[in-house]
Amino acid sequence: MRELFRFLFRIRELLLFLLLMGFSFFLLFNGNHHHRGQAISSSNALIGTLYQWRTNVTDYTSLREENLRLAEENTRLRNQLDTVQLPDSVPAPPQVDSLATQRFAFFSAKVINNTWQKQKNYLTLDKGRLDGIEPDMGVIGPGGIVGVVNAASDRFATVISVLSPDVKHSVQVKRTGHFGLLFWDTRDPRTASLTDVAKHVRVAEGDTVVTLGADGIFPPGIPVGIVEQVDRDAPGIYLKITLRLTEDMTRSGYVHVVKDLQRAERDSLQLLNIAP
């Protein structure tokens, strides 16, 4: 306490100056309407700026919750869209149960780890079996396909990226309808190869390649890539086609995991057909 008094005594002139200046401003603002208005306006501007800063900080910290809400909303809309949109060639019968006509279900998840610079690349999702995620489910990003679920624990799942030579995906050229296989052999995270397309097919640069939807992993028509280069002089009977992937595989964010609700029925029927 004694040191405090000594400190105040040392700065007594400064304290007296601040006191007199504050008293002067008080007399000035109370005796002059113009100066009072200016002071109120300045204080309101300062308080408004502080509130704006606080709002900006609050909005930034709530981005994670907002992104999660949007991802869940997108999942709900995807499920509704898959329920109401049936192929034109198979009209829905009257009074049909919408759940019976739904082929695919979608689950939102967040990529918490992603590799793209290795020879075989994988992703890790923050959802697992407790959330309905199982192996062999397709994973779709905002721009196109991402990969296939490889394994799942209760709360996490690993995904074989399309940037892996271990998996080939059935795709087709949207304009011509011809199908082939998506194969990553370019060692470039932005591109991949479209294989097994015969040389008589008139594939052109700029053609869109989408999923075929026949493997029970991805719905048909999901974007895959854009034809960037076609080599018709390649040896063999197939074209050498390079695609630019529509999904940025170097990003981390929210994705949708796809479940084919009719896959078990189709697989069981196929097993009956190949049984001796």
Indicate the domain borders of the chain: 2-61, 169-245
Instruction: Report DSSP letters for 206-259, one per residue.
Output: T-EEEE---SSSS-TT-EEEEEEEEETTSSSSB-EEEEEESS-TT---EEEEEE
Mean pLDDT of 49-64: 54
Separation CA 121–CA 94 (nearest Å) = 47
CATH number corresponding to 169-245: 2.40.10.350
Instruction: Give the pLDDT score at 45.
Output: 47
The average pLDDT across 237-258 equals 92
Mean pLDDT, residues 47-68 taken together: 55
Q: What DSSP letter does each residue of 116-185 carry, written as one string?
A: -SSSS-EEEES--GGGT--TT-EEE-SSSEEEEEEEE-SS-EEEEESS-TT--EEEEETTT--EEEEE--
In this prediction, residue 54 carries a pLDDT of: 53
Q: What is the pLDDT of residue 192?
A: 96
pLDDT digits (tens, 9 = 90+) for 104-158: 889 889 888 889 999 999 999 988 999 999 999 999 998 899 999 999 999 899 9
The interaxial angle of helices 63-84 and 33-61, nearest 10 deg, is 60
Which has more confidence, 222 or 78? 222
pLDDT at 72: 65
Q: Annotate 166-179 with b (16+ C-beta within 10 A) or e (fewer).
A: ebbbbbbbeeeebb
Q: How confident is the model at residue 95 (pLDDT cuts 50, 70, 90)?
A: very low
Is the pLDDT at 2 greater than 90? The verdict is no
